[in-house]
Amino acid sequence: MADPELEKELRRQQSTLRSLGSGVIAFGLWEAIKPLLIMILAPDEEIRASMANLTVPQMLFVVLIVAVILLLAMSFRFWMGLSARAEGLGKRKGPLYMVVAFIAFGVQTISFVMALWVLPTRNFTEEPLLSALASLVVEGTSICITGELAFAARKVKRLIKQLGEA
């Protein structure tokens, strides 16, 4: 007979996994939209100088290439989030999305630490300090969600295994 406490914990972790999957999807959307908005609506001086020398077809090509790269990144987040949501709904998913979530968590954490490391060397006359701090908060939140998703996925898999053995 299955342990009711294990079943309760499994349902709780599955609910957490569904919520975190939605969060990863939302951050994936933001990750794709933000750079495009910055590039189009508020380019910095380097981007402006680069774009000033381009013809309209060349500019459209550059925007298209950037959009494709961002779409790939967004698709990766969507896949990870949808896989987590499916697992949270009780559908069996392979371990690949969980492994990818751990890798993404590690890469994001390293990037975040590197950003913190170079933060004191930045010239904040070009970019306001508040904007840089807001970006760090958003990135930190994304890291937390990705890490929590990876660990919740691992807990769900362990609980399912324990319940299968009981």
- DSSP conformation letters of 69-107: HHHHHHHHHHHHHHHHHHHHTT----SHHHHHHHHHHHH
Chain segment 149-160, per-residue pLDDT in tens = 999 999 999 999
User: What pLDDT is recorded for position 132?
Assistant: 77
What's this model's pTM, rounded to 2 decimal places?
Answer: 0.81
Give the residue among 123, 140, 150, 107 at the shortest CA–CA distance from 27: 140
Q: What is the dihedral of CA 116, 122, 127, 133, to 10 degrees?
A: 20
Report pLDDT digits (tens) over 95-136: 899 999 999 999 999 999 998 888 777 776 656 777 778 888
**Total number of residues shown for the chain:** 166
